[in-house]
Amino acid sequence: MNDLKALLVEGIHPVAADVLASSGIEVDRESRAMGGEELVSRLAGVQVLGLRSGTHVTAEVLAQAPDLRVIGAFCIGTNQIDLRAATERGIAVFNAPFSNTRSVVELAIAEIIALTRRLTVQDDAMHAGQWRKSAKGSHELRGRRLGIVGYGKIGSQLSVLAEALGMHVRFFDTADRLALGNARRCATLEELLADSDVVSLHVDGRPGNSGMFGDAQFGLMPRGAIFLNLSRGFLVDHSALRERIVSDHLAGAAVDVFPNEPAGPGDPFESELRGLPNVILTPHVGGSTEEAQQDIGDFVAGKLLGYLRAGATGLSVNLPEVQLPRLDGATRLLLLHRNQPGALAHLAGVLADGGLNVEQQLLTTSGTVGYAVTDVRGTVGDGVVDRLRGLPETIRLDLLTG
């Protein structure tokens, strides 16, 4: 571990650096996102990369980072990472699928209340020295209809809190999801849009979802409805959203994510949504509470250490899940290989020829790849390592000793 280096970018919570450094890993930190040649140059000699949503790790970047072993996405989404290319190079990827869920949901609830009560408009008027006491356009949440697009971890928790506030919840998801409380599932997106006073978008960033919300979808929403997007910026046509707000078809919107986001704090921000009434714009801070960021930092750093120390891939987003307790005094072989017949037999043959006794072994496959973790007694010579790395199925082989 003392020979490993980590690069953490985008202002990841300091607890992550502390966790890694306490295990002897040399940690370099940056507060901004990186990409392209700059990222490639900084990854020289680096085995561990930590990032958030603004740093894009492409196949080209990975091809020029031969030392990289593991990537931690200190956020929920991983669409900023070429997962196929990472898998082909034997690089494990971990994320934080749960840690900031509550923070995102609380922001959504706060924005729904603010927009429904038109607090932003009232606040602007007061700061401009205008006293506009009026109930026009201001509503209670109780009895209003919330439509949730995407009923995963965030959408389902939003459903529970919104119902507790008296809202009638309906949702649409392409996957089978269990409705919580009195929430009602809609058969189609069109059904949900036509029957919701508030629509909140909580889908993932897979390429097929790009541009899923445009003028046609906004047109199906009732006049005076409110729209929220706290998921991915490229899902929504912001020009169409602007037109629907300017025309008073929509009464307001809250947007936390954008198609093109500044690389770091203080950089200029441009959007056609700026300056619109009853529109809340936030700089991708849905999961950015101190509590959430600390939890994410601790959680993902722990996953990175688990992989580096023991080859554990529990909750990895791209590798088969294997978790095997370490044996004292044994050498652990981590073999990521193509999922094809004979791979395990070839591994066993090489170990037998090298006079190595297998103490414990666990193999899991997923799709096109397999992952075998094997503990052996005896000296693992260079000849054994060279033969294993030369097997036709081998993607990557790592050894853990001590």
Q: What amino acid positions are annotated as catalytic residues? A: 232, 261, 284
d(Cα 379, Cα 334) in Å, to the nearest integer? 16
Helical H segments across 43-199, by residue range: 59-63, 83-88, 101-116, 119-127, 153-164, 189-194
Give one word for 129, left, alpha or beta, with left for phi > 0 and alpha for psi -120 to 50.
Answer: left
CA dihedral 296, 299, 301, 307 (to 10 degrees): -140
d(Cα 398, Cα 402) in Å, to the nearest integer? 14
Residue whose C-alpha is closest to residue 152's, from 186, 203, 106: 203
Q: For the residues of 167-235, what is the DSSP string, one character each?
A: -EEEEE-SS--PPPTT-EE-SSHHHHHHT-SEEEE-----GGGTT-BSHHHHHHSPTTEEEEE-S-GGG
Single-letter amino acid, residue 187:
A
- Measured in whole angstroms, the distance separating CA 27 from the mean position of its chain's CA atoms is 22
Kindly state the helix (H) or strand (E) to which residue 93 belongs, with its residue range.
strand 92-94
d(Cα 231, Cα 176) in Å, to the nearest integer? 20
DSSP three-state, residue 370: strand
d(Cα 388, Cα 92) in Å, to the nearest integer? 19
Residue whose C-alpha is closest to residue 159's, from 182, 186, 140, 176: 182
Asked if 6 and 30 touch (Cβ cutoff 8 Å), the reply is no
d(Cα 212, Cα 329) in Å, to the nearest integer? 54
Strands 198-201 and 145-149: parallel
Beta bridge partners of 225: 250
Asked if 365 and 373 touch (Cβ cutoff 8 Å), the reply is no
Strands 331-338 and 250-255: unpaired
d(Cα 17, Cα 29) in Å, to the nearest integer? 8
